[in-house]
Structure 1
Amino acid sequence: MRENLEEREVYNQIFELDTALWEELERLSPDDVCCRALVSFDKSNGFVVPFLNKECLCDIHQRKILLSEGGENPVPFQVALIVLTYLVRAREIPLTNQMVTEREVKGGSFFFRGPHALFTDPVLERFHDRPQPFLDAGIALGGVPRDFGDASFEIRALPRVPVGYILYQGDEEFEPRIVVTFDSSIEHHLPLDVIWALVNVISVELIKVDK
């Protein structure tokens, strides 16, 4: 599991944000961004974006994204990519309240394979026989319990992006598994590669908060 975690976290070290994303955000009206993404804007600090159980500050003047209570250190690459892409792409549409798997998202059945399979195996390894700690970890990230599988929760990862995690412990017929679900509107807010990054971040955080 340790190697898998390090493998996913290495993306935070070897990539930089595309400057085109910053340029696109700078061209947008802050009022429009706030309305579409359900975030707030401060002229001094930039956009304030709820993310999991924290808030990120997106400083468009210095082109950096920080945790509101995390000092001056920028957030990891994948978090920055998620937040910045969301600010640029989010649309002012309501939730459908129809939760779907990654393969039901448009294009997902082809994309989420091989190296782009969702990062759930280490979460399953950690929690397969521990439904209550699994639920506790989700709640620690701001999730709320749901009534699916043997344990489940839904996290509002971003204001318009709920993400569900469901644990099935398995039995004589079926292997244990983790299923990740999204409101079907997610395809209007995040592209597939950023959905993949979002699950990377959430899964790593679930393991980290489990004491």
Structure 2
Amino acid sequence: MQENKSSNYDKLSEEWRLKFLEMDKELVKKKLPEIRQENDIFLITHFGEQYGVSLKDGTIFLVNQRERPVSNGVKMDIYNLFWYSKEDAFFMNRWVPFRDVRGASPFTPAFERNVLMPFAKTFEGHTEELKKAAEAIGGISVKQGDAGYIIPAFDCIPMQYLFWDGDDEFSAQANILYDYSVTDYIHVESTVSLATEGILRLAEVAGLELKGNIFRM
């Protein structure tokens, strides 16, 4: 089953690569001023890592580690940002949980089970590692939780990763908040992928093994 899912995501990623080649690149740059263009490459930062997108063939690669594979989740985040972002989108400074993101409510139980629970389990007993990892990828501390950070998925899509460590009575808890504008920049289903990629990146930087059945492409 997992192989079939991976194969389907590979096919979807390939479809979006071809779709990117047909996009109006000047319009994409206009919608997303954070994009930098160097010759035939778009440069964009996603959770603290810089990616290049070839204007010739639409492939996506890590700028500093070209030999390292890029996950379908990251590819889809980037392609969907380019496609779905609106020209008049702007940061509203109105933070909401996933269930209050426009159109996300039906996916809330799955989000809690396959995103928030693995986030909490992975960092239980590792608050300091989470803090260091969040800061390493550009996070800014907020006064919520035992560790709370605003982390840019992209410059235009900041997200709040909030964590409360467990004790003898309660297990660790976690939450992720979005600015209400998020669906003006990306498709609602991609908000799940954004959350997942942030957790995967934090765990990687912290040097921790991911715990729980997390959603991934």
Shared fold per TM-score greater than 0.5: yes
Question: TM-score normalised to the size of structure 2?
Answer: 0.81
Q: Please give the per-residue CA displacement for 1:95-145, whole angstroms capped at 9, x wherever unaligned.
A: 001111110001211123237845132321232333322211211222111
- Where does residue 95 of structure 2 map in the other structure? 99
Is 1:186 the counterpart of 2:186? The answer is no
Change (3 A) 1:11 1:120: farther
Which of 113, 128, 135 is matched with 2:109 structurally? 113
1:31 and 2:20 are equivalent in the alignment: no
Pick aligned residue for 1:63 from 58, 63, 73: 58
2:49 aligned with 1:51:
no
Q: Deviations over 1:158-207 (max 9, x none)?
A: 12100111112367986531010111100111222211111111111211
Out of 192, 195, 209, the position equivalent to 2:191 is: 195
- The corresponding residue for 2:9 is 15
TM-superposition CA deviations, 1:44-70 (whole Å, max 9, x none): 22x111111111111132221001111
How far, CA to CA, are the matches of 1:176 and 1:73 in structure 2?
32
Q: Secondary structure at the match of 1:125?
A: helix
* CA 53–13 in structure 1, closer or farther in 2 if over 3 Å, else same: farther
Q: Which amino acid aligns with 2:75?
A: A
Pick which of 33-42 and 180-189 moved more.
33-42
Number of aligned positions between the proteins:
202
Q: Is the 8 A contact 2:92 2:179 kept in 1?
A: yes
Return the TM-score normalized by structure 1: 0.83
- Tell me the SS of whatever aligns to 2:194: helix
**For residue 3 of structure 1, what is the aligned residue in structure 2?**
none
Q: How far apart are the structure 2 equivalents of 1:207 and 1:12?
A: 21
Unpaired runs of at least 5, structure 1: 1-6
Counterpart mapping for 1:82-93 below 5 A: 82-92=77-87, 93=89
Farther off after superposition, 106-115 or 189-198: 106-115
Q: Which residue of 2 aligns with 1:77?
A: 72
- Name which of structure 1's ranges 48-57 and 120-129 shifts more when overlaid on structure 2: 120-129
How high is the sequence identity, in percent, across the aligned residues? 19
Aligned equivalents of 2:153, 2:129: Cα separation in 1: 20
Hey, which bits of structure 1, 4+ residues long, moved more than 4 A?
A: 10-14, 115-118, 170-175
Is it true that 1:137 corresponds to 2:156 in the alignment? no
Q: Secondary structure at the match of 1:154?
A: strand
